Amino acid sequence: MKYSKSLGLYIHVPFCVSMCYYCDFYSLGGRAAQMDGYVKAMCAHIRDYGALCGGYSVDTVYFGGGTPSFLGEKRLAKLLSEIGKRFSLSRNAEITVEANPDSMSPKLLKKLKKAGVNRLSVGIQSADDDELAMLGRVHTFAQAQDAVRRAQDAGFDNLSLDLMYGLPGQDTGRFLRSAEAVLALQPAHLSCYGLKLEPGTPMARDNPVLPDDDAQADLYLALCNRLCEAGFEHYEVSNWARPGRRSRHNSKYWDLSEYLGLGPGAHSYLGGRRFAFVRDLDAYCAGVTGAGGPIVFEEEDVPTMRRHGEYLMLRLRTRDGVQEETFQRLFSRDFAPYAAKLAPLAQHGLAAQELGRWHLTEQGFLVSNSIINEVLSADDPAEGPANLDL
Partner 1 sequence: MKDQNKIRNFSIIAHIDHGKSTLADRLLEQCKAVSQREMEEQLLDNMDLERERGITIKARAVRMEYEADDGETYEMNLIDTPGHVDFNYEVSRSLAACEGALLVVDAAQGIEAQTLGNTYLAIEDNLEIVPVINKIDLPAADPKRVKQEIEDIIGIPAEDAPEISAKMGLNIHEVLERIVRDIPSPSGDPEAPLRALVFDSQYDPYRGVIVYMRLMDGRIAPGMKVKMMATGAEFQVIECGYMQPLGLAPTEGLSAGEVGYFSASIKNVADTRVGDTVTEAGRPTAEALPGYRKVQPMVYCGIYTEDGSKYPDLRDALEKLQLNDAALSFEPESSIALGFGFRCGFLGMLHMEIIQERLEREFDLDLVTTLPSVVYEIIKTDGTVVLCDNPHDYPDPVHIEEAREPFVNASIITPQEFVGNIMPMCQERRSIFKDMQYLDSTLVELHYEMPINEIIYDFFDALKARTKGYASLDYELSEYRKSDLVKVDMLLNGDQVDALSFIAHREKAYSRARRICEKLKENIPRQLFEVPVQAAIGGKVIARETVKAVRKDVLAKCYGGDITRKKKLLEKQKEGKKKMRTLGTVQIPTEAFMAVLKLDEE
Shortest spacing between CB 306 and partner 1, in angstroms: 9
Q: Which is nearer to partner 1, 154 or 312 (CB)?
A: 312
**Count of CB atoms within 10 A of residue 199's CB?**
7
**What is residue 44's three-state secondary structure?**
helix
List, in sequence order, every residue forming a beta bridge with 88; answer none if it has no partner: 57
Residue number with CB closer to partner 1 (6 or 143): 6
Q: Return residues touching partner 1 (CB under 8 A).
A: 10, 12, 25, 64, 193-194, 196, 213-214, 216-217, 220, 237-238, 250, 252-254, 259, 261, 265-269, 274, 276, 298, 300, 310, 313-314, 317, 344-345, 348, 350, 365-374, 376-377, 383-386, 388-390
Q: Which of 302, 303, 270 is nearest to 52 (CA)?
A: 270
- Least distance (Å) between residue 12 CB and partner 1: 7
CB of 377 to partner 1, least distance (A): 8
Which has the closest alpha carbon to 148: 94, 89, 102? 102
DSSP structure class, residue 61: E
What minimum distance in Å lies between the beta carbon of 217 and partner 1? 4
Of 111 and 308, nearer to partner 1 (C-beta) is 308
Please state the closest distance from residue 19 (CB atom) to partner 1, in A. Answer: 16
Q: How many CA atoms lie within 13 A of 202 on its CB side?
A: 9
242 vs 274, beta carbon nearer partner 1? 274
Q: Based on CB atoms, which residue is closest to partner 1, 111 or 252?
A: 252
Q: To the nearest whole angstrom, how small is the minimum distance from the Cβ of residue 168 to partner 1?
A: 16
Angle of helix 213-229 versus helix 172-183 axis, rounded to 10: 30
Tell me the angle at which helices 106-115 and 73-86 cross, rounded to the nearest 10 degrees. 10
Strand 259-262 versus strand 5-13 pairing type: parallel
The residue (of 57 and 60) whose beta carbon lies closer to partner 1 is 60
Spatial contact of 268 and 275, defined as CB atoms under 8 Å apart: yes
Question: Is 103 within 8 Å of 69 (Cβ atoms)?
Answer: yes
